[in-house]
Amino acid sequence: MKRILILCLLLVQIIGIDAQETETDSTSVEILDEVLIKAIRVEADSPITHSNVSKEVLEQRNLGQDIPILLNYLPSVVTTTDAGAGVGYTYIRVRGSDASRVNITINGIPFNDSESQGTFWVNLPDFASSIESLQLQRGIGSSTNGSGAFGASLNILSNAISEEAFAGISNSYGSYETWKHNIQFGTGLLNDHFELSGRLSKITSDGYIDRAFSDLKSYYLQMNYINDNTLIKGLMFGGKEITYQAWYGVDEETLNTNRTFNPAGMYTDANGTIQFYDNEVDNYQQDHYQLHWNQRFNNQWSTNLGLNYTYGRGYFEQYKEDQDFDFYDLDLIDIGDETISVTDLIRRRWLDNDFYVINAHVNYTKDRLDITTGAFYSHYDGDHFGEVIWSQYASNSNIRDRYYESTGKKNEFTVFSKATYRINEKWNVYGDLQGRFVGYRTTGLTSDRIPLEVDENYSFFNPKAGITYKLNDSNQWYASYGRGHREPRRSDFENGVSKPEVLDDFELGWRFDQGNTQVNANLFYMDYKDQLVLTGELDDVGAPIRTTSGKSYRLGLEIDARFNLAKGLDLLPNFTLSSNKNIDFVTSKDGSLVDLGNTNISFSPSFIAGNIIEYQPVKDLRISLLSKFVGEQYMGNIDSETSKLDSYFIQDLNVAYTIKKIPYIKEVVITGLINNLFNKEYVSNGYFYTYDDDFSEPGTVTTVEGAGYYPQATINFLLGATIKF
């Protein structure tokens, strides 16, 4: 971090930042904050399908649940959680694409893990309390940083500068002993130039699923310097999580008889009694350091330079029974006439990684032209290793012996240029060109002690173009095309996949805005080549396994709207109708390859709908009824009835009341949330597997199918109070 600060100070001196004592205004502050994400966000009239979410909207239900859960009611979004109640490991899917295919950036810096491409919000608990705004772009979207967006991209802007000093304390309590404690502060602008703000949070929950507890801590510290044309923003944020593992799910019989059962940590003691290991946990810490320099030279030119270092380290711990000595390089033990070759043990699988980023862009705006050009470089260095911390029979082992080690190194360089040109009052055109160059190398053994030697380089050209037509003040039409490429992730290489995916995305939309009524409609066609679809199966750490589906597509219609029905009463519906198909899908069944023709893509419901009814009877009281319907979906790609997840329809009730005119206190906000208001027993996620068995006639192979499920919480509540000073 010290080197980063020195580098930025040198750059400041070279450019010659004007540090003259001049007053700032809110407009200047806002513009400079937005320069930070100018390169990856789109404007309201852009031909890119998107939704914006403000800080105020996030605050309405921010009682400790993770960001995916807070975004559950956006169009085409499906969310789920391992522990069942929105705290701990949570996931988001957009247009049927899983979280590893949703590109996430924080202030323009990738949040997706470079190797797994996943996003683990549990590493940043309560980060929603430090977000100024976010934008969800569905489809390919505009060029962004990091792994390509194959379902959506979510770009987050952290807290903006507060010109006034503030402090706040938030506390909430809810079902399953869910607690959230949060303190925030800000100095406001000191001498019109400096600001310091921060947050500390702690969230704990027992979880809906047995023993699926979460113990989460996080911090956020922001330091700013600003004058008329310069904003230097230094950020430090991170989190530490300890969560009991809950990714095993349950089978159908257990779902019907004991839906909160958690098999994690289960073992049999010497007396034959079933026990549960008390420390079958995931333990991980992640720290982020960012430095951003935003410079506005005049009304036409502005620049941003961003530097980032992310340090992640941690492990998950497992009690394992009857493990072979050979697997852990242990010598056999002879005791009398008995040879011992298996042992119970406790092991940890570690990740220790460093992620470096430098990111820069320049923007030029004049009259009808708005053009942004930029470059991005990242380096990821990750260590994977496993250690045995206890063994029933130690043999020749020492504590924390490593039984496998592996490294992964990934470099990425991206250049892009995007422009919007306003031809006249009715027509805008948009162009976006990106070159992305990725190198990935691994050495060593996987956790299964299989050699993994990867040395791959990818060069991608991703063009995008669009046009917007303004029919009148109320109606706007747009159309766009985008091509994207995406490299495989580490687990794909482990499964023998090295071919990148290709996506051609076509979007046609209509926006209507007339006073009390706003409607957005969008038709999309996403044409994939070598799409990596989820098979439904999980690996031995609970991560989804993928396979190449050849040709496939997603065709759909999205509509979202806002209707002001009366004073203080708003209706916000949305729905998505889609067809998601693998073309001529081939699979192994009963010992031979079978062409199933067109099949449904896994985890891609054909109908998703959401609705919010907001009622504000008086100025300081707001009542919202939120509804979500997710249609039936297959957990595999072979249209097996065994793999089908039933549809579900749930409602949440959210109430917020603000109390003002209290001495020495700005306001007190009381918030209540009842989740799953009508106590539905539903499942939002699961897994599906097949295996070949020759237990029938000799020489005959029969494919056996099975499934597991992640039940979600029945009716539960959260109640919180925020005191603002």
pLDDT in tens, 14-33: 333 333 333 445 566 666 77
Residue 253, H or E segment: helix 252-257
The token duo for 458 is: 């990818």
| Residues linked to residue 364 through DSSP beta bridges, in sequence order | 301, 371
pLDDT of residue 40: 86
Q: DSSP E strands: which ranges in 118-193?
A: 131-138, 152-158, 166-174, 178-186
Question: Is pLDDT above 80 for 418?
Answer: yes
Distance CA(245)–CA(279), nearest Å, equals 9
Strand 501-514 relative to strand 475-486: parallel, antiparallel, unpaired?
antiparallel
Average pLDDT of span 370-388: 96
314 Cβ contact list (under 8 Å, min separation 6): 282, 283, 284, 285, 286, 350, 351
Average pLDDT of span 187-201: 95
- What's the whole-number average pLDDT of the chain? 92
- Least confidently predicted of 18-32, 241-255, 412-426, 442-456: 18-32
Q: Which backbone phi and psi does 177 adopt, to 5 degrees?
A: 55, 45
Question: Is pLDDT above 70 for 619?
Answer: yes
Question: Is pLDDT above 80 for 300?
Answer: yes
Q: Which backbone phi and psi does 402 adopt, to 5 degrees?
A: -90, 125
Judge whether 311 and 287 are in contact, CB under 8 Å: yes
pLDDT of residue 661: 86
Radius of gyration of the chain (CA): 26
Domain ranges of the chain: 2-724
The confidence band for 146, taking pLDDT boundaries of 50, 70 and 90, is confident
Judge whether 422 and 371 are in contact, CB under 8 Å: no
pLDDT of residue 246: 94
Question: Is pLDDT above 60 for 215?
Answer: yes
Distance CA(644)–CA(688), nearest Å, equals 9
Judge whether 610 and 575 are in contact, CB under 8 Å: yes
The confidence band for 11, taking pLDDT boundaries of 50, 70 and 90, is very low
Average pLDDT of span 118-131: 95
pLDDT of residue 2: 41
pLDDT of residue 57: 93
pLDDT of residue 693: 77
Specify the CATH number of the domain 2-724.
Answer: 2.40.170.20
Question: Is pLDDT above 90 for 478?
Answer: yes
pLDDT of residue 18: 38
Percent of the chain exceeding pLDDT 70 equals 95
Helical ranges in 164-219 per DSSP H: none
pLDDT of residue 696: 58
The confidence band for 5, taking pLDDT boundaries of 50, 70 and 90, is very low
Distance CA(713)–CA(82), nearest Å, equals 10
Question: Is pLDDT above 80 for 383?
Answer: yes
Judge whether 600 and 531 are in contact, CB under 8 Å: no
pLDDT of residue 31: 67
| Residues linked to residue 527 through DSSP beta bridges, in sequence order | 504, 553
Distance CA(267)–CA(256), nearest Å, equals 23
Strand 50-54 relative to strand 131-138: parallel, antiparallel, unpaired?
antiparallel
- Least confidently predicted of 137-151, 600-614, 632-646, 705-719: 137-151
Helix (H, G, I), strand (E, B) or coil at 638: coil
pLDDT of residue 27: 61
367 Cβ contact list (under 8 Å, min separation 6): none
Q: Which backbone phi and psi does 542 adopt, to 5 degrees?
A: 80, 5
CA-angle at 285, arms to 281 and 287, nearest 5°: 165
Judge whether 84 and 713 are in contact, CB under 8 Å: yes
Average pLDDT of span 374-402: 93
pLDDT of residue 6: 36
Strand 166-174 relative to strand 716-724: parallel, antiparallel, unpaired?
antiparallel
The confidence band for 602, taking pLDDT boundaries of 50, 70 and 90, is very high
Cβ count near 593 (within 10 Å): 8
The token duo for 709 is: 């499920």
Distances from the Cα of 584 to the Cα of 65, 510, 535, 639, angstroms: 41, 33, 16, 13
Strand 102-106 relative to strand 152-158: parallel, antiparallel, unpaired?
parallel
pLDDT of residue 592: 85
- Least confidently predicted of 21-25, 103-107, 124-128, 223-227: 21-25
Average pLDDT of span 688-693: 87
